[in-house]
Structure 1
Amino acid sequence: MKAILLVLDLVLQLAIWVLIIQAVLSWLIAFNVVNTRNGFVMSIWQALHQVTEPLLRPIRGFLPRTSGIDLAPLVLILLIIFLRYVNHLYLIPNVP
């Protein structure tokens, strides 16, 4: 059981990195540092968007509209960090 909780922690850490990479890539696209007409950039953007959008869409639904700033990734990262703390402080130590 402890191994499953450690794998869950690894998946949550990977999700944080995917959200950070997606946010940085969106900034690079917004400031025209990278171009979405490049096939490689577009394929990475689409893959990251398909992975993160199902998680971010419900959060965007209850957050207030802000002009140009998407706070949904930040909220999701904070939620994932909270889940990781719960996992480390309460679940893993109590598993034999």
Structure 2
Amino acid sequence: MTSLFQILMLLIDVVFFVVIVHIIMSWLISFGVLNLRQPMVAQIWDGLNRLVEPIYGPLRRMLPPMGGLDLAPLIVIIGLYALEIILRNNVALFL
């Protein structure tokens, strides 16, 4: 059961990393550092969007319009931390 706990923690870390990369890449695209007309950048951006949109989509529908401010990544990060805290506090169930 310890391996199940470690796998869950690994999945949380991977999702956290993907969300952070998506946030940073969106900033770089917005500020003109990265150009979506470059094929490699466009492929990475499309792949990241396909990974995070199933998570962001339901949250964006529940959140009120904020005038261009997207709070979905922040809520996902807080949710991941909360899930990690819950798992770490209940690690005895996995032993």
TM-score (norm 1): 0.94
Q: Per-residue deviation at 1:94?
A: 2.8
Q: Does 1:48 align with 2:48?
A: yes
2:12 — aligned with what? 12
Where has structure 1 moved over 4 Å in runs of 4 or more? Answer: none
2:92 — aligned with what? 93
Q: CA RMSD in A?
A: 0.9
Consecutive unaligned residues of structure 1, counting only runs of 5 or more, are none
Consecutive unaligned residues of structure 2, counting only runs of 5 or more, are none
- Show the 5 A alignment for 1:1-96: 1-90=1-90, 92-96=91-95
Identity %: 33
Q: Per-residue deviation at 1:5?
A: 1.3
TM-score (norm 2): 0.95
Between the aligned partners of 2:64 and 2:20, the Cα distance in structure 1 is 21
Give aligned pairs, total.
95
Between the aligned partners of 2:3 and 2:94, the Cα distance in structure 1 is 10
